Structure 1
Amino acid sequence: MKASGENSGQIPVDITHEILSRLPAKSIARCRVVSKEWDFTLSSQYFTDLFLKMSFLSPCILFTFQAEGKWSFFSLPESMLISDQKSSGVAVDKPACGLLCTKDEWVLSIKKDARMMISNPSTGGFKLLPKVKTRRRRVLTYLGYDPVEKVYKVLCMTSREKPFSLQAEQHQVLTLGTGKMNWRMIECSVPHCPHLEDNEVCIDGVLYYLAAGSGSWETSMSMIVCFDIRPEKFKFIVGEAFKDIKSPSTLINYKGKFSGFVLSVINDIENHTWRKKTIIFPSLWWSLVAGTRLHIVGTTGDSEIMFSPSVVSIPFYIYGYNMETNSIRRVEIQGLGPVKGQKIYTFLNHMENVKLIT
């Protein structure tokens, strides 16, 4: 309003940004075509950071699977899982959030021109990564985010196919959003074999993943690899404090710290001090799960661990175990479509992101 009380006809820019940052990501895509000015504003780093900040307040749960040669993405607000404790079912929406990176080039290597890819389900955008500089055929990748410099980096490791070896021999890093993307060789002083399952977690700019020494999981000391994204340096958690954690294990973000299951929470990374909690499921758990193969996908709130099936089924359920009350619950996820049998990937604490991949 003007001083005279008349309507000026314009909303201040900062208020406009605040309003738009509360819209779903798919609405932002529509708003970009309103005008060149809106497209420029909504594509700016300032608005991308503001939108991501708001998304952190309302995380989603993301489901993705491949069917008929195409990847499908579904999401629902994580708050529905927390607040609707007694609900028999919740429906998912499409599309979803965050940046994803293809994991293992081994699966793609049967195709001559196979390329690793970064995708953003929120915008539908994707970008092929440049070919990794290596003569090795096996390439394993991890995607991490540095909240200080606000950049995404891809860490890749290569290993031999003949003779077959799981030991990572070359380590390279690529930074997104820098125009022409290039892989850079980095040093890693400790030989190790990364776990091939999806077990990584990124917390406060540090990427954690499970590995074994330069041998096998059966004969080598287990370790947690800590890759600090900003300086691109490795640290390793090994020794007696970690000797009981074996494969298969899962790393999750538990109250801002990473942990495995039997729940082992690390209190001090430098001194390798752990706090352990043995989980004993109530008898109802086994009848509720009924032989379904599950894996841990993370935690909601402070005390509930969520489990998801490895393949799509009809009906499709996810399961929660509350460590404080020793209670369990099952929630039906509706809306995945008439498919079953495909391998499904489930992500908790996934954030909608309007970042345009460049």
Structure 2
Amino acid sequence: MEILARLPAKSVGHCRCLSRAWRAMLSSDYFVDLHAWHANKPGHPQLLLSPVGSSYDGYIYSWRPSGSGAVEKLMRDDFGGGETVPLTKPCRGLVLIRATDGGGYFVCNPSTGESLALPDSEAPLKMTFRRDGLELPFYRRDMALVTAQ
């Protein structure tokens, strides 16, 4: 399991298709935490980049300063209008993204390229200053979206 935890997330996702036993092992909380720990070691940051202006081509990119230095195309930017702004550090591989121009909020898995639109808030004064984030309480295994106004 230690060797598999060092593979890129996309490769681990492909390995989950081998059998039910592999899927269960690679989906276990222990393995997910181990893989996230290896992927997010200090000194190995990975940055999400979104081109703006005339450079915008409809994709989000990743860049790892300690790697080859090359910027890699990561996934399509299907987050609605305006600029795409990652709001949080990854939480178990998921990133909270806000699309400007009223596009809303999305939870994104950069490893698989999947994203999920979050329902719009019913709170008044949505344009006021607020902080958003993802939270994973240590005593639970489910994630929560946290908003502070």
TM-score class, shorter-chain normalisation, is: 0.5 to 0.7
Partners of 2:65 and 2:94 in 1: CA distance: 18
SS in structure 1 at match of 2:119: coil
- Flag the structure with higher strand content: 1
Letter in 1 for 2:64: P
- Given candidates 54, 59, 74, the residue that maps to 1:95 is 74
TM-score, normalised by the number of residues in structure 2: 0.64
Residue aligning to 1:49: 33
Partners of 2:137 and 2:2 in 1: CA distance: 21
Partners of 1:53 and 1:125 in 2: CA distance: 21
Partners of 2:136 and 2:23 in 1: CA distance: 26
Matched-pair identity in %: 29
Matched, 1:61 2:47: yes
- Given candidates 75, 88, 94, the residue that maps to 2:62 is 75
Matched, 1:107 2:101: yes
**Against the structure 1 CA distance between its residues 152 and 91, is the aligned structure 2 distance closer, same or farther, given a 3 Å change threshold?**
same
User: Larger radius of gyration, structure 1 or 2?
Assistant: 1
- Given candidates 120, 125, 143, the residue that maps to 2:133 is 143
| Displacement of 1:146 | 4.9
Residue aligning to 2:105: 116
Matched, 1:133 2:122: yes
SS in structure 2 at match of 1:138: coil
- Flag the structure with higher helix content: 2
- Given candidates 7, 24, 29, the residue that maps to 2:13 is 29
Pairwise CA RMSD of aligned residues? 3.1
Partners of 1:74 and 1:147 in 2: CA distance: 29
Matched, 1:40 2:24: yes
| Displacement of 1:28 | 1.2
SS in structure 1 at match of 2:122: coil
TM-score, normalised by the number of residues in structure 1: 0.30
Query: Contact 1:76–1:93 at 8 Å: present in 2 too?
Result: yes
Partners of 1:121 and 1:142 in 2: CA distance: 19
**Cα deviations by residue, 1:247-305 (Å, 9 ceiling, x for unpaired):** xxxxxxxxxxxxxxxxxxxxxxxxxxxxxxxxxxxxxxxxxxxxxxxxxxxxxxxxxxx
Unaligned runs of 5+ in 1: 1-16, 82-89, 109-113, 158-167, 169-358
Partners of 2:94 and 2:38 in 1: CA distance: 16
**Against the structure 1 CA distance between its residues 155 and 146, is the aligned structure 2 distance closer, same or farther, given a 3 Å change threshold?**
same
Matched, 1:19 2:3: yes
Residue aligning to 1:156: 147
Partners of 1:43 and 1:76 in 2: CA distance: 26
Residue aligning to 2:87: none
SS in structure 2 at match of 1:95: strand
After superposition, where does 1:293-332 map in structure 2 within 5 Å?
A: none
Letter in 1 for 2:132: Y
Query: Contact 2:104–2:118 at 8 Å: present in 1 too?
Result: yes
**Cα deviations by residue, 1:154-209 (Å, 9 ceiling, x for unpaired):** 2225xxxxxxxxxx4xxxxxxxxxxxxxxxxxxxxxxxxxxxxxxxxxxxxxxxxx
| Displacement of 1:121 | 0.8
Partners of 2:17 and 2:73 in 1: CA distance: 20
Partners of 2:134 and 2:62 in 1: CA distance: 21
Partners of 1:19 and 1:133 in 2: CA distance: 46
Letter in 1 for 2:98: K
**Against the structure 1 CA distance between its residues 116 and 56, is the aligned structure 2 distance closer, same or farther, given a 3 Å change threshold?**
closer
SS in structure 2 at match of 1:119: strand
**Cα deviations by residue, 1:12-54 (Å, 9 ceiling, x for unpaired):** xxxxx11110101111121122222222222222211010111
Partners of 1:116 and 1:23 in 2: CA distance: 29
